Amino acid sequence: MRRFSQRSHIVTLSEINITPLLDLAFVLLIIFVITTPLLEQSINLKLPTGGTPDKKIDPRSVRTVEVTTTGVYTLDKQRLGLDQIISKLAADFRGNPNLIVYIRAEKTSPYENVAAVIDGCQKRGITRYSLRTDPTAK
């Protein structure tokens, strides 16, 4: 009876196949490239041009209200009614008197939609708000 040594059949793997790792890396890169712009803003608005870039402001003191041409309001990327938005802004203002409300509105949006947000802020004592524009557009 003949005995076989296991050593003669051991094959060492001298190279690692990185093709699956590269495929995974490219897929993740594509996913991040596609999803990153979607996370930046909740509504695709065409802001009016003009203004200057902002100075350094504490982001915890900023609330963003967005207004579409159809009168849809969002507060910090949450779709709410105008009364709910004003109530939340008033509650935030009581907790933080340095609150600044950014109002982003489509450039073709009716003025009454923007004026309703401004009026609601003023009635609740919020006097620091900013009508946002796109300073980079020419």
Q: Which of 115, 43, 130 is nearest to 79 (CA)?
A: 43
% of the chain with per-residue pLDDT over 70 = 73
Please tell me the distance from the alpha carbon of residue 107 to that of residue 94, in angstroms, as a whole number. 31
Each domain of the chain, given as residue ranges in start order, spans: 6-40, 59-131
Neighbours of 89 (CB within 10 A): 21
Please tell me the distance from the alpha carbon of residue 82 to that of residue 113, in angstroms, as a whole number. 9
Coil, helix or strand at residue 91: helix
pLDDT digits (tens, 9 = 90+) for 23-38: 999 999 998 888 776 6
Query: Band of the pLDDT at 42, cuts 50, 70, 90?
Result: low
| Residue-level pLDDT at 12 | 61
CATH architecture of 59-131: 2-Layer Sandwich (3.30)
Q: Which of 75, 65, 49 is nearest to 103 (CA)?
A: 65
pLDDT digits (tens, 9 = 90+) for 46-87: 666 666 666 677 778 888 898 888 888 888 888 888 899 899
| Residue-level pLDDT at 27 | 92
The answer to whether 89 and 75 are in contact (CB under 8 A) is yes
% of the chain with per-residue pLDDT over 90 = 8
Confidence (pTM): 0.58
| Residue-level pLDDT at 15 | 74
| Residue-level pLDDT at 135 | 66
